[in-house]
Amino acid sequence: MKTLNLEIEQFLRSENVDFVHFVNISRLNKQQNRGLPYAILIGIAINSQFIKGVYENPYYIHSTTDEYAQTEELVGSITDKLANLLILKGFKAISQSDTGLIAENTFDFSTKTSILPHKTIAMLSGLGYIGKNNLFITSKYGAAQCLGSVVTNAPLTAYIHKIQSSKCGNCNICRNVCPQKALGVKNWNMNVSRDEMINVYKCTACLKCLVYCPKTQAYIFS
């Protein structure tokens, strides 16, 4: 239903979302998609000046009040609003924000995993690919965007897209700059698990793998 797609997109643009994609997730198992056929993927670019500042500051320490964390929180609040909007229209909708996942009890704190990561939906959107830094990379923003998603049974117009393979080639900058050596040696494909790509318990969210990525560099220095 293209009119509903348009209404949703207009609402999200009014919330200053940088991109919106409607994704068919019916191919996923029911544990992941909860029996809901569609997902709405949103993204907000992280401020390029903030990213440049992290790049230029070797002593940057991630905090819950910095711009990266605030952007993640903003994305979550927007997906909560969107889910509520769809529910008021009589559809089933689940916001995959931190608040939503905790309420649904679908986030495992011991393994730091959710049953349907935003990056899985992003891969199904055809918008980008997973880099060696285990981050979703787009042509416009590199790895410098925060993702959010809502899964729903609303009658959306959504397509099945071809999944993009990694375009990192021989580049290993992210692996080389990681101070904790948290990144693995495998390149992403559908059969590679997150734990084969990154040790999340070693990761300190220093953002070096994000800001040093050449695709992110193209965004912040363009």
Q: In what order do the strands lie in the sheet with 93-95?
A: 19-24, 38-45, 145-152, 93-95
Model pLDDT for residues 85-134, shown as the tens digit of each residue: 999 999 999 999 999 998 898 888 888 889 999 999 999 999 999 999 99
Joined together, the tokens standing for residue 128 give: 């980008």
Distance of alpha carbon 109 from alpha carbon 105, whole angstroms: 10
Which of 49-53, 57-61, 96-100, 186-190 shows the lowest per-residue confidence on average (mean pLDDT)?
186-190
Residue 222 has pLDDT above 80, yes or no: yes
Distances in whole angstroms, Cα of residue 16 to Cα of each of 5, 11, 48, 71, 104: 17, 9, 16, 11, 27
Residue 146 has pLDDT above 90, yes or no: yes
Supply the mean pLDDT for the chain: 94
- C-alpha closest to that of 175 among 202, 156, 148, 147: 202
Distances in whole angstroms, Cα of residue 131 to Cα of each of 6, 59, 163, 198: 31, 24, 13, 11
Residue 41 has pLDDT above 90, yes or no: yes
Model pLDDT for residues 156-179, shown as the tens digit of each residue: 999 889 999 899 999 999 999 999
Average pLDDT over residues 51-80: 95
Distance of alpha carbon 161 from alpha carbon 128, whole angstroms: 11
The answer to whether the CB of 196 falls within 8 A of the CB of 130 is no
List alpha helices for the chain, DSSP H.
Answer: 2-14, 30-33, 48-56, 67-88, 98-104, 118-125, 173-177, 194-197, 208-211, 214-220
Distance of alpha carbon 87 from alpha carbon 152, whole angstroms: 9
Average pLDDT over residues 137-162: 96
Q: How many CB atoms lie under 10 A from the CB of residue 21?
A: 20
Distance of alpha carbon 42 from alpha carbon 118, whole angstroms: 9
Supply the pLDDT for residue 157: 95
Q: How many CB atoms lie under 10 A from the CB of residue 130?
A: 25
Supply the pLDDT for residue 192: 85
DSSP-derived secondary structure letter, 183? B
Model pLDDT for residues 73-87, shown as the tens digit of each residue: 999 999 999 999 999
Residue 52 has pLDDT above 80, yes or no: yes
Per-domain residue ranges of the chain: 2-220
Residue 44 has pLDDT above 90, yes or no: yes
Reported as a pLDDT band with limits 50, 70 and 90, residue 8 is very high
Supply the pLDDT for residue 120: 93
Supply the pLDDT for residue 1: 62
DSSP letters for 36-49: --EEEEEEEEPPHH
